[in-house]
Every structure is written in C-alpha cells, then in structure tokens.
Amino acid sequence: MKTDAKIQELVNSYGNWFTNPDHENSAGGAGRMTKDLYPYTAMFSPIQINRTKIKNRLVMAPMGNIDMCEETGRPNDKMLQYFFARAKGGVGLITTGLVPISFGIDNSVIEPGKLSYFPRIDRSRTVFAGWRDLAQGVHNFGAKIFIQLTPGLGRVGNPQCLVNQYKFPVSASFNPNFYMPQIPCMRLSDRKLNRIIRNAGQAAADAMAAGIDGVYLHGHEGYLLEQMTNPAFNRRKLGRFADWQRFGIDMVKEMRRRVGPHYPIMYRIDLSLALNETYGEEGMSKPPLKKFRNGRTIDETLEYMENLVKAGVDIFDVDLGCYDNWWLPHPPSGMPAGCFLEVSRIVKERFRERGVKSNAGFDVPIVAVGKLGYPDLAEKAIRDGYCDMVMLGRPLLADPEWPAKAYSGRVEEITPCIGCQEGCINEFVEGGHPQCAVNPRTGFEHIYPENPPKADRVKKIAVVGAGPAGVVLSITAARRGHKVELFEKSGQIGGKTIPGSVPKIKFDVANYRKHLEHMLAKAEKEYDLKVHLNSAVDLEKLSEGAYDSIVFATGAKETLPPIPGLDKVKHVQATDLLMNPGLLGDAKSVVIVGGGEVGCETAYWL
C-alpha cells in the first residue's frame, strides 16, 4: 500500500486542528469574516488564461446543475437566472456543473426513456441556443464562463441503470459500483473510449461556437475520467489505455486539435485520492477499498499534470479525495478554513521550480479550493503564493454578491456559508438542483425577485422569536415597507445558533450569527423595524399592540426520551449545557443520549 508523507501529514493536521481548534496553522484554522487586509488588491487583480482575460481572481466552483435543463438537455430559465445572479454579483469566472459527453456509453447519465437529467451540449439548434443565451447573459455582467465536461460517472453513477435499462454501469476496469458494491461495473472497450475522446473534441468545438469562453475537464472525485487516469481504478493490462495517463492526454489533445491554440482548457484534478492516508492499512484491507490501494502518488500526479500541460491544458484546480472519502472533497462544517491551501502550494512550487509554461507561453494558473469563503483568507492565499485564483462554491450559493461586497469592503453584509451541506450536497444526492439553507433564493432566482416588492398595503407586524427565521423574516417584511416589531425573551438574537456556535469548530455558525446581528442593526436604522430584547410576550401584550399579523418564530423545543426513572437522575438538555457548563456540577462521567449532530458535537465539546 502506497502512502504519501505529505498527504498523511495534511490529513493528520485536520484531526489535530479538530481536537485543538485554537491552533492556527497553514491550513487556515478558524475562518473569520474580517477585513483586516482590505482593500483586496490581489483578489481583484485581473489574470490571463491563454488569450482570455479574467477581471478578478474569483472562480465560481462547478456544482451540479441537475434539474436545471429541459428534457433535451438545453439549459432552462432556472439555470440561466442562477448563473446570471452570480455573474451580476461580481465573480470573474463561472464554471458550470458537469455536462456528460458519454451519452449512449455511460448508462448512468440518463433517466428511463433516455431523458437527460444533466445539461448536454450538442449541435442541435435548440440546445445550442440555450448555451448561447447563457454565455451572452454572463458576458453582460463582465464575467467569463467555462463549461465543465465529463466523460461520465462510471462506478459512482446511479446503479438504477441496471434495472431501468438492463445495462450495467461502466468503468476503467471491473470495479464495484460505489453505491452497491455487489454490482460490478463493466470494463469499457478501447473503441468506446476512443469514441468518448472524439465526443470531447466535438463538445469543445460546440462550446466555442456557442460563445462559451473555455472548457473544463472533470478529472477528479473518482468520476470516469479519474477512473481512467488513476491506477487505483485503471488496472488494465492490455491495450492503449493500460497506460493510465493516456486517456486524459489523448482527450486534451483532441480538444486542442478541435478548438485551436488560443481557447482555454481547464482541468480539475486531485493531488491524491488520500484513501490510504484516510483509512490506514486496516481500513484499506477491506472490500471494496482493498481494490483501490495503489492510487497515484503526489509525484505521479505532478508528472501527469506536466504532461497534460504539454497536451494543451492552460489551468488547473486541485484538491484531495473522492466519493470513497466523501467528506474530504466536500469539507463540511468543522473542517478548518483553507483546508487545501497546502495542496495548491505543492503544485505552485513544482511548476515554478520546473518553469512549467502552457503551450501559449503563459504561466499555468493554479486555483485553490476548499473553504475559502473568508475574504481575508482568500486574499492572503493569493498574496502569499499558495495559489493564483480562489474557487468559491457554497459561499456563492449563500451569497451571490460575495465578490461585490468584498470588493467594496462590506464584509459584514456577506451572508456566510454555514457548512451544513443541506441545500447543496444533499439536494444533489437526492437529484435536485443547488439550493441553500441560508439563501432561499438560490436555485429559484427565476421565481423570486432579487429585491422583494413593496407591499400593496402596509401592515403592522409582530414577530416573536429572534432566531434566524425571525430575524430574516423581520428584515424582509421591513424592506417591503411593513412596520415590524421583533420580540425576543432573551438578551441576544440568534436562537439555537447561540449554543450551536459554542464548540470552536462551529466557527461558520458563529459567523452567521454575527452576520444576523449586523444586518438586523442595519435594518433598524434604515426601515421601520424595532427590536425588543429581554421581552417575553403573551397574548394580552400582543393584543394591546393592535397588530395586523403576528408571526411566531420560536423554534422547536427539545423533547425528553421516555426513560423510566429519568426524573430520579440528574440530567440536562445539550443546548442548556452548551450555554451553561456549570450545569454539570462536579460530574466526572457523562452519558449522552442521542448520537445525532447535537449529541456528537456536545460529546466532542466535553
């Protein structure tokens, strides 16, 4: 089993930070929504990718655009308005979610009836016009857009294709399906792989003709391109593609042949799967992981990246992991901010030392990813040479205007991502389009206006409870012109985000609570909104106010499990304990009932 000392050290650092979040390290530590480095001269300086100039160093990450297209695969209005909102918000480069180029080969990318749930790019007038509209709309706001292409999902595709189409999923070798390991994936023939390569060239030519500014290959996270270009998955012994670098290199060469020397080609790659470093010898000895023990090392990946540059790649974004260690490429709340900056730095240093240049004669920009939605940290990463550009995914779901607000120094107004993964990752897994727990407009920009319309009739509204729901509702109602009074029985706003942000690893929730405080104070000054803290209300008091509407946003109340004899044992609710550790008294041992998120975080905190 091969392991990389650098990757092992980095993975270990996440655990060390988790147990000691006071420790600030090169991975970024606790992200803070501060503006100590403002103005952000590095982040908002232009950069050139081949012959294409990008106005700033901010890239919108690719996030699956499932359920955002017509049955033909043409981008629908939902998808257009979703991207237009981020372009208007000031990001320099937008990348789309993955667009398969392997229809008819990878059976997992279509629904029963041969309908696409992914967008697709082809030469039909209908589909072509949709991409042209998207490109033109993005350009109207001064942004550029790259389309992300994927040869397919392979072993991480939906195994329902076996039931719906009587066809097995496919892969580089006879790999087990990720979701149902008992289902084998059929090994793709060289003939079909060459067909995918030709499809990639055609898709790149179609994208260029539609006005898309560049193409972006998804060679990461264990999708089919990664399966073909990583010896962990590609265990072929015969044929052209037994050389695990060959498929990716041939694909880039074909794309470059079709689009010419000046059209940008971007490549997404992981420096390492980090499976061995994540699970260790014992974990990797068990099926199905034991098949994947011989993944690319750092040196092998860097050599492959240099060969991709020679083939025609102009820019990379790089991180770690795959579906089999899902938490790594999708760092949740609790992971340190800037968790992959060391990864991008390794590539930057290698390319600088070896003088790697693109075929167009330019330096090859390296894009950093992974919890970088903190303006000071993003600026520092570029200034200190960890990367050339910063990729933002979930932060732009939470607030499309992140770039504009950072540029103008309004950092406190940025709605921060809380790392919950409810509206983004979970929606994707369940077949939905991108959404966000702290931004109800995400994915519904085509329905909900950017600014709420003024009310036809001004109402006097009482809102009871100053948790996130009560605060956001009060601000929105006040913006519409209503007269709003917000009542909170405690002395501070935030509701359950107050105990929820006590563990230091929950810094994202703490950032969100501070944002709510700032926006509520701002709204008090600008609108007819009054906040009453330390103000418990009852029906009599509410009736005296002569309100047109009363909204209760008091949240949920914890329940006690029906345990016999519980009344004879000292017990406390987790949220009360987080707010008042003294409730434990002199207890030496504690039993936590409930292993959900609150229970686990309380156990960690104790």
Interaxial angle between packed helices 246-259 and 298-311, expressed in degrees from 0 to 180 and rounded to the nearest 10: 20
CA–CA dist 416, 513 (Å, integer)? 9
Contacts of 308 by beta carbon, 8 Å cutoff, 6+ apart:
248, 249, 252, 267, 316
In the three-class reduction of DSSP (H, G, I as helix; E, B as strand; rest coil), residue 272 is classed as strand
Main-chain dihedrals φ then ψ at residue 489, nearest 5 degrees: -70, -25
| C-alpha span between 426 and 131 (Å, rounded) | 27
Of 14, 40, 82, 223, the active-site residue reads: 223
- Max CA separation in the chain (angstroms): 84
Tokens encoding 19: 């147990």
Q: Are 357 and 364 in contact (CB under 8 A)?
A: yes
Distance CA 510, CA 500 (A): 8
What are the angstrom distances between the C-alpha of 413 and each of 399, 496, 516?
A: 9, 21, 9
Look up residue 131 and give its two tokens: 């991409």
The amino acid present at 177, given as its one-letter code, is N
SS3 content of the chain, % helix, strand, coil (to 5): 40, 15, 45
Other beta carbons within 10 Å of 581: 10
Whether 223 is a known active-site residue: answer yes
Q: Compute CA distances 490 → 169, 465, 487, 568, whole Å.
A: 56, 9, 9, 29
- The DSSP element (H or E) to which 225 belongs, if any, is helix 224-228
- Taking each helix axis from N to C terminus, what angle separates 125-139 and 190-209, rounded to the nearest 10 degrees? 50
- The CA-CA-CA angle for residues 518, 520, 524, to 5°, reads 120
Rounded CA separation 57/62 (Å) = 16
Whether the upstream peptide bond of residue 39 has omega within 30° of 0, thus cis, is: yes
Q: Which residues pair with 392 in a beta bridge?
A: 60
Beta strands 52-54 and 47-49: pairing type?
antiparallel
**How many DSSP H helices and E strands does the chain contain?**
20, 18
Residue 531 phi, psi dihedral angles, 5° rounding: -110, 130
Amino acid identity of residue 288, one-letter, is P
Which residues 6+ apart lie within 8 Å of 134 measured at CB? 75, 79, 80, 83, 145
C-alpha separations of 101 from 75, 234, 406, 602 in Å? 15, 20, 37, 46
Q: Amino acid identity, residue 23?
A: H
Beta strands in 176-213 (DSSP E): 186-187
d(CA 518, CA 510): 13
First to last CA, the chain: 36
Strands 170-171 and 186-187: what pairing?
A: parallel
User: What is the set of active-site residues?
Assistant: 223
